[in-house]
Amino acid sequence: MGQRYARDMRAAAHRHFEAAEHLFDNTYRRDVAGYLFGIAAECALKQMMLASGMHQMPETERRADPFYAHFEELKSLLRDKVSGRLAADLRRYAENSAFMQYWDASMRYSHGKDVNSRWIDCWRQNAKDAIGTMDT
């Protein structure tokens, strides 16, 4: 079995966002920055989920567990399961159709040419907003 890493969603959100910001300025790798902005936003939401009292589901229910989902599925699962102290913030992100629109984890397997620069600009702002909410 491979190395197991301790989870720290807050630190991961900041780490991925910082890396994305560095790549964002490199016009040749903005596609990678866009991917990392999405991962940063996911980590921020998942930190808010933890702070709201949500817990990971048993391994047998992993497919329905928002902690293992990516956008758009993550937003859909949150709409169904959100609760706790940060429910209003989480619901606001889950119900916002523009939040991380067009971002998909499968872009990591693409050549990157299909990642629209305008989307990346939006994802950057979305991630920044989610991290700001996470940190309040």
What single letter denotes the amino acid at residue 45? L
Is residue 3 a part of any domain in this protein? no
How many angstroms from the chain centroid is the CA of residue 123?
10
Mean pLDDT of 124-131: 98
In this structure, what CATH number is given to the domain that contains residue 80? 1.20.120
Whether residue 78 contacts residue 92, with contact meaning beta carbons closer than 8 Å, is answered with no
Counted domains in the chain: 1
Q: Is 1 within the bounds of a domain?
A: no
pLDDT tens digits for 25-52? Answer: 877 899 999 999 999 999 999 999 999 8
User: Which tens digits make up the pLDDT trace of 47-59?
Assistant: 999 998 888 888 8
Q: Please report which confidence band the pLDDT of residue 74 belongs to, taking 50, 70 and 90 as the band edges.
A: very high
What is the predicted pLDDT for the residue at 56?
A: 87
Return the amino acid letter for 15.
R
